[in-house]
Amino acid sequence: MKRQPAVLVLKDGTTFEGYAAGYQPEGGVSTGEFVFNTALSGYQEVITDPSYAGQVIAFTYPHIGNYGVTPIDDEAIRPWCAGVVARDFTDVPSNWRSEESIEAMLIRHQVPAIVGIDTRRLTRHLRNFGALPGAFGTAPVAAIESAAHDAVGTDGTDYVSRVSTPTAFTRGDGDLHIVAFDYGIKATMVNQLVDRFRVTVVPSSTSAEEVRALSPDGVFLSNGPGDPAALPKEIAVVSSLLGEVPIFGICLGHQLLSSALGGSTYKLPFGHHGSNHPVKDLTTSRVEITAQNHNYAVTPDSLQRAVVTHVNLNDGVIEGVASAAERCFSVQYHPEAGPGPHDARYLFDRFETLLRHGTMEVA
């Protein structure tokens, strides 16, 4: 495939040359915060994860699209990421489930991409200097440099209201009823909950009073994009519900629950994005391999009314918290595993145990 030359420029001026791919926007410039993902497979689930809103995903694995894509693996109705960077897209995917190529999907959803750059060099740069805003495209270099200079990161921005469902909907027919806040909820999370409960998924703006009116047996706080500190209303709602009903949070939901429990959050240099992060469950001393996608984390020693239950064995980041008194717990990583290993799916069973028996394990 003959491609048009393109340039990627980070906010610090670092430049990479490549070729345009995916959707080509009018004006030939796209911007976002650049982060890298180390997963070897599951690229479709990564691209359609709403937690990447405002970010450009750079894949460290060199060949993306080998097995094509299928709507069955979509984690949302559309990708919310600002773009995709890859060393190479496979032109001819090979898999019996495949219905189209990765590039066809990106074009259909109007997601810009750039290929042919040195993704190893880009990854090393982001590891050394942290996630950086930037720009890429086919416009003149001066225009891309100007856009990169003006590009902003995710700090202080509410991306949740952009990706959340506008209306509530119900799935499943279990005997227990769960209200799930959609901060950017993934389809695999909904499926895991539906396997166990009747689930009402509600917009992120839903009030505590509206939740109480639904008479839930438990509340679920989903993953989502951006800076948790930019969501004071959502934190206030979680705070209001604490102690009234069991709560389980994942990723952004973990950060919001931790904030409601008196904790604070901070931005990691380059975040955790991949499917091979070792995490220790302090309640069992079991080590699990986990899928992760987040740029923010809970500040150590900031929790006032909870204990740490999980830690990242790579860098010591808090990966889980719990409060037995207020019947709530959360994890920073993705136990639904879409994509990723299934080591942590036991947490959905732990939530069911909490709902049915009112007990939970706390280190």
| 301 Cβ contact list (under 8 Å, min separation 6) | none
- Examine the residue annotation and report whether 63 is marked as an active-site residue of this protein: no
Q: Which of 295, 273, 328, 302 is nearest to 228 (CA)?
A: 295
Give yes or no for a contact between 109 and 10, defined as CB atoms under 8 angstroms apart: no
Q: Which of 75, 234, 336, 352 is catalytic?
A: 336
Alpha carbons 49 and 339: distance in angstroms, whole number? 10
Alpha carbons 351 and 360: distance in angstroms, whole number? 8
3-state secondary structure of 153: coil
Give the CA-trace dihedral at 130, 133, 139, 142, to 10 degrees: -80
Here the tokens at position 226 are 């951006």
Q: Which of 234, 251, 254, 288 is catalytic?
A: 251
Judged by phi (left if over 0) then psi (alpha if -120 to 50, else beta), residue 302 lies in alpha
- Examine the residue annotation and report whether 251 is marked as an active-site residue of this protein: yes
Kindly list the catalytic residues: 251, 334, 336
